[in-house]
Structure 1
Amino acid sequence: MTLQMIGCSHHDTAVEIREQLSFSNEHTQWALAQFGERFEGAELVVLSTCNRVELYAAGGVFGVGIGAVAQATGDGSGGLSGEKARLALSRFVSECLGKPHDLVQEHMTIRQGRDAVDHLFLVAASLDSMVVGEAQILSQVKQAYDLANAANATGPITHAAFQASNRAAKRVQTETTIHRRRLSVPSVAIGEVVPEVFDTLRGKRVVLCGAGEMAEETLRYLQAGGSDNLCIVNRGLERAHALAQQFDVEIQPLTALPEQIVQADLLIGTTSSEHPLVDAETFARLNARRSGRTMLVLDLAVPRDFDPVIGDLPDVFLYQIDDLRAACDRNRREREKQWPKAKKILDEEVERFFESLQQRATGPVIAQLRRRAEEVKTAELQRLLGKLNGATDPAVTKEIEKSFDRLTNKLLHPPMASLRDDAAAGHSRGLLEALRHLFNLGDEG
């Protein structure tokens, strides 16, 4: 059973190349529909994100038939492997995207067998991501697999590999803290700082200054955190209108900021203003009108949107960009500490995956071998007892039967033990197929 992957990622390919090699929804649908016809019986899953383009192929000419697991280590005998597989897959990608074959060959590498499985598990668990531990990639892997299922492009090999990768990723999520450490400034601000001040964002007046990329990311975390009373304040209203429609929130011009500060429980700055939006003296007067209500101020802007002296005002808690970046750095270091533990989990799951595949391959052969031996033993025992024509007493007959059983088991033990050892080594000696031929087992079972 050979899993093969052709692809490129942020590790080795510039974004301008990844853009050319990315698969749109239309490209993906076409690839899933055509792959099985192009390579009869082959399976395909297409994973295309902003940071990677990867096609996982198996079955058919990419995974040989009888004793398919014998190819799990990617030696490729009986199917396409190495340069032939790379050539076939790269030509297919070139045709899908309408891009020069030379471009695909130059920038997309191929992984086979255990290397491909290792890589898939790393990707699903987000250990191969640009931001290690980010949560989005597992859902992207699952979506890619689900899409391939819907297109009837998957099969036993991709089912086994992608389901196992999902289990492995879930173990990393539950048994390590690698996914629980937030790394972006907005995620730290909303996910870690806000809960220190407010039990919940529901019912709290949130005033967000700015309508750029930082504001948009912050909005996502705010709404995910339950914010339901949110107002965007911005100098230009066109961009603010776009965000208001996207997130269904209120907007106000920058001139309304003073009154919004009086109402605010949570005030967030994300603008590109070169000067504070409100001077410290004005802010103090506005705060005095708030009747002692707690205000949390998150200044995510550079230059800063609020004078740092406002943090000395009563009932005002100010966190600035440098405070939050320090938390991001601490979280990143904590994630790095968890990496070896997460990798150990994935190594265990890869071994478990291959052990399962090996059992699937060797189990039927061992069962066939036992059945064949049992048939021969029974026939010879009956022939012997027939010749004796009842001349032995039942106790002697029983001993003869036990002797035949012991003889059969002793003869079977060496080949079956060797087969199990060979399976554990990845079928490197090809004993699975040798036993089929030596004992004329065929493809039954």
Structure 2
Amino acid sequence: MTLHMIGCSHHDAAVEVREQLSFSSEHSSQALATFSERFDGAELVVLSTCNRVELYAAGGPFGSGLTASESASGSWSDEQVRTALIEFVAECLQKRAEFVGEHMIVRQGREAVDHLFLVAASLDSMVVGEAQILSQVKQAYDLSNLAGATGPLTHAAFQAANRAAKRVQTETTIHRRRLSVPSVAIGEVVPEVFETLRGKRVVLCGAGEMAEETLRYLKSGGSNDLCIVNRGQERAAALAQVFDAQTAPLDELSDQIVAADLLIGTTSAEEPLVDAATFARLNAQRGGRVLLVLDLAVPRDFEPVIGEEPGVYLYQIDDLQAACNRNRREREKQWPKAKGILDEEVQRFFDVLQQRATGPVIQRLRQRADQVKTAELERLLGKLNGCNDPAITKEIEKSFDRLTNKLLHPPMASLRDDAAAGHSRGLLEALRHLFNLGDDL
């Protein structure tokens, strides 16, 4: 059996193209429900994210996708597979087949498996090492399972891809280097000052995208005393509801600074939120408590001079961006090691498939050869009644064994090589017919 993939990603399609080819939940459900009906016995997994749209197919007429001679026995040629997948996607999304064919790439066999493993391990992501893609791959596989659209090959491929991705996570540091400014600020800077965020008063200025991302990291880091300070209270209230936080208007920022342990700026204000003199006065009211200030805003929300105040630790956007760049370089250094792990796992996957595909045929072939050998050996020894020398009898048996092994070696080696390339079915069928092994394997 062969895995096939049709898809596009941020590597080869602009966002406006990906938007048109995206599979909504409704599209995915429709595809999973109709694929096996359209293609008898076929398997399908649909992976659709903001950066990629990929459909993985196997089984049924997609079983091999090799040559025209095989298509006569139920499998399709490469071109037939490509056409069928393009037309299926076009119908699901109500797009022209020419548009789908122009923007979606079809990968087959080992290339498709390599790609799936790269995707699951986040080596193909826009941000290499981001953790979200593996959960998205698992969700796509689980949805396909629930819809009854998976089968032997998709089970094997997606389970192996998950195992490979986890090896990359545990055996390299490619996922442990934070690349966004909020993740570095909360994940690396905060622990240098506070052992825990629990019980610490966190005051977050702003309610935009940067603030929302920062809130996610704060909550995952254990923060349980959050206050969102923003000029517009409607947006702040919406975020507060999601992240279990309090809100305060911007004119109460002074009181919030006095109470804060961690002060974070994420606004788009053109001027500092408080001037240096005001901040000095407020800091004097804090009784010498440590204040960590993370200025993630551009332009900056706080004047650099406040970092000279007693007990104040100030980190600005440039400091944090430099840490992001260092982490990105460290991730890039880990890429070859991660790719090596995936290469090992891909080979392991094909070795297992090879054994599953060729094992029963090789076993039956050897059994048939042993039966013929034993019968002929008994016939020959029966004609040699006068030969009672055990040594001669043993040499005759060895000669028969060597002859059988030499005759069987070429077809079995060819079968293994063909299976390793992902194209085992042609030789399997030929061996069944040539050696009359039966069709139940």
CA RMSD of aligned residues (A): 2.2
The 5 Å alignment of 1:7-406 reads 7-64=7-64, 77-78=70-71, 79-384=75-380, 392=388, 401-406=397-402
- Conserved? CA contact 2:67–2:76, under 8 Å: no
- Conserved? CA contact 2:415–2:424, under 8 Å: no
* Local SS of the residue matching 2:182: helix
More off after superposition, 229-238 vs 429-438: 429-438
2-structure distance, mates of 1:81, 1:15: 32
More off after superposition, 347-356 vs 76-85: 76-85
Q: Any idea what the Cα deviations from partners look like across 1:33-70, whole Å, max 9, x if unmatched?
A: 10000000100000000011110011111114xxxxxx
How far does residue 388 in structure 1 lie from its aligned partner after superposition?
A: 6.3
1-structure distance, mates of 2:49, 2:3: 20
How far does residue 333 in structure 1 lie from its aligned partner after superposition?
A: 1.3
User: What letter is aligned with 1:139?
Assistant: S
User: What letter is aligned with 1:62?
Assistant: F
- Conserved? CA contact 1:164–1:353, under 8 Å: yes
User: What letter is aligned with 1:160?
Assistant: A
Q: Any idea what the Cα deviations from partners look like across 1:293-351, whole Å, max 9, x if unmatched?
A: 11100000111111110000111000001111111111111111211221222222212
Structure 1 pair 81–318 and aligned structure 2 pair: CA distance change class (3 A): farther
> Which residue is 2:435 aligned to?
439
With normalisation by structure 2, the TM-score equals: 0.93
2-structure distance, mates of 1:429, 1:321: 58
Structure 1 pair 425–37 and aligned structure 2 pair: CA distance change class (3 A): closer
1-structure distance, mates of 2:383, 2:5: 62
| Percent of aligned positions that are identical | 80
2-structure distance, mates of 1:189, 1:273: 20
1-structure distance, mates of 2:363, 2:104: 42
How far does residue 382 in structure 1 lie from its aligned partner after superposition?
A: 4.1
User: What letter is aligned with 1:317?
Assistant: Y
- Conserved? CA contact 2:110–2:421, under 8 Å: no
> Which residue is 1:5 aligned to?
5
* Local SS of the residue matching 1:154: coil
- Conserved? CA contact 2:373–2:404, under 8 Å: yes
Q: Any idea what the Cα deviations from partners look like across 1:277-299, whole Å, max 9, x if unmatched?
A: 11111111111111111110000
* Local SS of the residue matching 1:57: strand
User: What letter is aligned with 1:16?
Assistant: E
2-structure distance, mates of 1:7, 1:279: 53
Out of 410, 413, 434, the residue aligned to residue 417 of structure 1 is: 413
2-structure distance, mates of 1:103, 1:409: 54
2-structure distance, mates of 1:427, 1:60: 15
Unmatched tracts of structure 2, length 5 or more? none
More off after superposition, 222-231 vs 161-170: 161-170
1-structure distance, mates of 2:239, 2:61: 50
- Conserved? CA contact 1:368–1:444, under 8 Å: no
Give the total of aligned pairs. Answer: 437
